[in-house]
Structure 1
Amino acid sequence: MQRLKWLAALVLILTAGSVSAQSTIDSDSLLQQAQVAARQGNYSTSRKLARQVLRVAPAYTDAAILIGNTYTWEQKYDSANFVLQPLLSASTPTADLYLALIRLGLRSKTSPELILHYADQGLVIAPQSQELLEYKIQALIQQKKYLEAEKVLESLPQQNSFYQRTKTQLHDLASINSLHTEYQYATFSTAIPSWHLASLEYTRLLAPGSIGARVNYANRFEQQALQGEVDFWPRLDEKTYLYLNAGFSDSKLFPDYRAGLEAYRKLPHNLEASLGVRALIYSQETVWLYTGHIGKYWGKYWAGMRPFIQPQQGQVQATGILQLRRFLKDENQHLTLTLSKGSTPDMQVGLQEINRQDANKIGIRSQFRLGASFFWGAVLQFEYEEVSKESSRNRYTTGLSLQYKFR
């Protein structure tokens, strides 16, 4: 009899182990099916299968994380948060849980401080996780902690594409000083001597905003002239900043004095708009230019429209400048197409040029990286100008630029 009891107990233990193993196998199989459904975009099916897993094995947090991820991918951020947040206290958090919370935070535009917190917590569990390290670097960059980001970046393999791309980005962001020089050469279809225009500019990024000083040189009509300018771009808040400009010259070709004010505002849907005014004070007269712009970013493109309204001698002249930019490997490398119609030039130098009757322009401007710190660019443009009612001409302009960024 005693022997029969031991046999029965042994059968019971073996049976229980078999049932438990079967439950585990079923849970793993269901979770795999749920993951496949999620990869195929069948999020409702994926959640249904994952919930079946949780009914069999309530502590199977991978299934709950998958449910949260599918809500994130569907932009149902409140639902994702409702599923994921309780897992922080209901179980021992895993690196996958922190990754899910980071992805949710990035898509729902959570503060970079919270993203950094999740990345640090995840790295305690999985210190070698490349994905968590990348998210930490991105959060540090958002907080403008460039030196810290560089230290973390050095823990990644240098052949990694993220490493190479981010190394360049951090170098550019940490380079708060810039020297820029440009030279333009213009020839005409009529018997006018060639025009020369050159500039040298130094810019520094400060806490309130960037500030720059520039010297311009012009050689036109067998005269040479110099102009000094200062630009300031103060930030008022995260979405609003100003452009302030002041300049003076030796009065030979440039305005005696010039001033500019423009307010910029970032708008939803990657839009930006501005309104402003320019004052050009010559010895003969003062020219007022009212301007503004509307621009939009999408993908690797930016398009912008800038008008100039110029009251003059009881009349109002209008100019429209349209630009389309294609970004290349990064935001510092690009090609820009410019089309314009109207009398006001985008480079305001001589009074005769500003007072022309009309003009049509097409131009291409480029900028490319030349090593880690240098950039070079080129300008090529054509203008048909109506100088007066009786006179017109073609203008051909070429130019080169060089920029050096440093810390």
Structure 2
Amino acid sequence: MISKIVIKITYIIAFLSVFQMSGQEIKYNGDPDASFEKARYLAFNQQRKQAQDTLLFILTKYPDYHDIRSFLASTYSWDGDYKKARKEFDYILKKEKEDRNIWMAAIKNEIWADMPYVALEMTDTALKTIPNDPELLYLKASAQEKTNNPLEALSTLDAVLKENPNDQNAKEYKASLKNSLSQNTIGLTSSLDIYSDVFDPMQYYGLSYRRLTKYGSVIGKVNFNRRFNENGLQYEIDLYPKIANGLYGYVNVGLSKSFLFPDIRFGAELYKSLPKSFEVSLGLRTLKYSTTTNIYTGSLGWYTGNSYLAFRPYFTPGETGTSKSGTVTYRKYRSDAENFLGVSLSVGYSPEINQFNINQDASEFVDLKAQRINFSYFFTSSNKQNAWGTQFGVAHQEIIFDQGNYFWIYSVGLSWDLKFK
């Protein structure tokens, strides 16, 4: 019995000894520079996996050898493994914030990963540490183009060329961007509201023309509605003037002679970009029927990665007090700002978002209760010339002339935009 116990103990000691020796053997104990050179040779000769194994082996002993970790991240990026590359770049940037080469490689990784909003945020952070760097500005322009801000991209390229008039890459990029920039867009929209009670289905159609200028966008619209067995037209113009870097506005004017629309619709808002990818705005909407209703609004938005989250409240003074309502919107962007999935949740009644449910003075109905959820999906053709959108929403709303009772509203919508020079 004792002999068996001794044998078992001997086996355990032998096993632990082998395990310890194995553990010692997997630790790196060599010349990191020579091994790094060998890994580079492997990486550039179609032996990427072996190169990565070698680089990881060196980092077990030299975790802060940033050139090695950066090269490892770059090989991950070349292989399309952007998540692994991001992890390695983040490790370096937490300790070394002034290395422009690391910033550039990390930003390129996000651009290649179709994460332009992340890339744009990173360029802004890098430029605070390394201001006016032409190559970082070049990458910023690329990210701005991918987030559907070509005019901002052109402005950034102008900043590059102002400092370096002979920068051939910036010249060629600017020429290419201007040549491909679609300054005109024609759009068609249609939607249908189906009511569970009281009202017949209501139809909405819109035709728009958008012109992109160096001062901002100008959009003309003609809206046609069929509601309450009547037809009506409204004419609108939207302006999005660029005021300064990170500051732009919104102005809207609408006119109609139909009782289905307000006689005059007016809107104005000012948007300001903030650090950490936040954006705020403050604005006003006015609807004039026989009396005038003013709606005070604003927004707080946040871009995080390729996601966008925003909250917009509405405050509408009326005969029974001030109505308060709000909408939370979430978007998940894909390749750019025109390709995304979205969902929005609204609580409370606002004539701004529920205006088609009324055909008289909006101020009488600001205390109505309503809840709405809306899903949307927008996508473009491969050449970005065509853009389509689909929307589906469900609302639970108090009946205007029978408060305390509710109906359901089911909404579907389609849109199509065609871009041309």
TM-score of the two chains, using structure 1 as the length reference: 0.66
Kept in 2, the 8 Å contact 1:300–1:327? The answer is yes
Of 377-386 and 136-145, the range deviating more from structure 2: 136-145
2:295 is the alignment partner of 1:308: no
Kept in 2, the 8 Å contact 1:137–1:152? The answer is no
2:378 is the alignment partner of 1:398: no
Partner of 2:251, secondary structure, is strand
Unpaired stretches in structure 2, ≥5 consecutive residues: 1-30, 41-54, 69-88, 108-122, 146-152, 159-167
Distance verdict in 2 for CA 1:103–1:179, change over 3 Å = same
AA matched with 1:29: A
**Match for residue 403 of structure 2?**
389
Q: 1:326 aligns with which of 332, 338, 343?
A: 332
**Match for residue 117 of structure 2?**
none
Aligned-pair distance for 1:47?
A: 6.9
**Match for residue 174 of structure 1?**
181
Percent identical residues: 27
Partner of 1:236, secondary structure, is strand
Aligned length: 316
Q: Distance in 1 between matches of 2:200 and 2:308?
A: 36
Of 366-375 and 394-403, the range deviating more from structure 2: 366-375
Of 307-316 and 107-116, the range deviating more from structure 2: 107-116
Q: 1:207 aligns with which of 214, 218, 228?
A: 214
Q: What's the CA shift string for 1:327-385, capped at 9, x where partnerless?
A: 12332111111110111152534445952611110111111223421111111111111
**Match for residue 114 of structure 1?**
134
AA matched with 2:371: N
Partner of 2:259, secondary structure, is coil
Q: Distance in 1 between matches of 2:126 and 2:298?
A: 32
**Match for residue 289 of structure 1?**
295
**Match for residue 72 of structure 2?**
none
AA matched with 2:265: R
Distance verdict in 2 for CA 1:205–1:112, change over 3 Å = farther
Aligned-pair distance for 1:205?
A: 1.1
Q: Distance in 1 between matches of 2:254 and 2:341?
A: 29
**Match for residue 73 of structure 1?**
93
**Match for residue 216 of structure 1?**
223
Give matches, 1:3-402, under 5 Å. 29=34, 32=37, 36=55, 40=59, 45-46=64-65, 73-74=93-94, 76-78=96-98, 80=99, 106=123, 108-109=126-127, 110=130, 114-115=134-135, 138=142, 142-143=153-154, 174-283=181-290, 285-345=291-351, 346=353, 348-349=355-356, 350-351=358-359, 354=362, 355=365, 357-372=368-383, 373-387=385-399, 388-402=402-416
**Match for residue 128 of structure 1?**
none
**Match for residue 20 of structure 1?**
none
Partner of 2:65, secondary structure, is helix
Distance verdict in 2 for CA 1:301–1:212, change over 3 Å = same
Asked which structure has the greater RCO (Cα within 8 Å, sep 6+), the reply is 2
AA matched with 1:313: E
Q: Distance in 1 between matches of 2:376 and 2:325?
A: 20
Distance verdict in 2 for CA 1:291–1:212, change over 3 Å = same
Q: Distance in 1 between matches of 2:302 and 2:237?
A: 27
Q: Distance in 2 between matches of 1:150 and 1:219?
A: 51
Aligned-pair distance for 1:40?
A: 3.8
AA matched with 1:258: R
Unpaired stretches in structure 1, ≥5 consecutive residues: 1-25, 50-68, 82-98, 120-134, 155-166
AA matched with 1:270: S
Of 269-278 and 101-110, the range deviating more from structure 2: 101-110
Q: Distance in 2 between matches of 1:218 and 1:136?
A: 43
Q: What's the CA shift string for 1:250-281, capped at 9, x where partnerless?
A: 13210000111111010111111101001100
Larger radius of gyration: 1
Kept in 2, the 8 Å contact 1:112–1:139? The answer is no
**Match for residue 80 of structure 2?**
none
Aligned-pair distance for 1:177?
A: 1.4
AA matched with 2:65: S
Q: Distance in 1 between matches of 2:304 and 2:350?
A: 29
Q: Distance in 2 between matches of 1:353 and 1:195?
A: 19
Kept in 1, the 8 Å contact 2:329–2:344? The answer is yes
Partner of 2:355, secondary structure, is coil
Kept in 2, the 8 Å contact 1:225–1:254? The answer is yes
Kept in 2, the 8 Å contact 1:34–1:47? The answer is no
Partner of 1:108, secondary structure, is helix
Kept in 1, the 8 Å contact 2:232–2:260? The answer is yes
